[in-house]
Amino acid sequence: MNAYKGWSLIDKLPEGWRIDKSAGSPLCGYEFCTNGKSVFNGQQRALVFVGKKGTENKEQTHFIWQKEKEKENSVDPAYAKTLNELARKTFEQKMLNDILVDLMICEIEGWGKIDYIQSLKKSISGLLKNKEIKSLERNENQICLSF
């Protein structure tokens, strides 16, 4: 009989003993087992072999672990696209709400709404002409504000 960190290593479960699932195993292919008694009444604990000998090697285990890790870290492209669309719609809604508040203020103060809309168009056109922003399309025909 061998030992691992003070626990006896046994090949099969002795009669009257049972697998103890209250603690995880520190050794691959082994599980804790006890003689069924309480800690205060002479409980004995050991590690019993539950895996199959010679069927799994270290490289296979590492490969399986790597595949599972890759699955956990991968993001479904459809999920990312949906999330991106949701973020854009949320931003668009916030921006439109801000414009509506500005238009209400124009109405309350007696300012021209058309002047405000034209200044918005100018600001957006200036943003598109900015050479530092290369990722935006420069097609100003796509910018269309209508009320």
Mean pLDDT, residues 37-43 taken together: 85
Question: For 9-30, what is the mean pLDDT?
Answer: 84
**pLDDT higher than 50, residue 51:** yes
Other Cβ atoms within 10 Å of 46 Cβ, number: 21
Residue 53 banded pLDDT, cuts 50, 70, 90: low
pLDDT at position 131 over 70: no
Structural domain boundaries in the chain: 2-54, 77-131
Read off the pLDDT band of 145 (50, 70, 90): very low
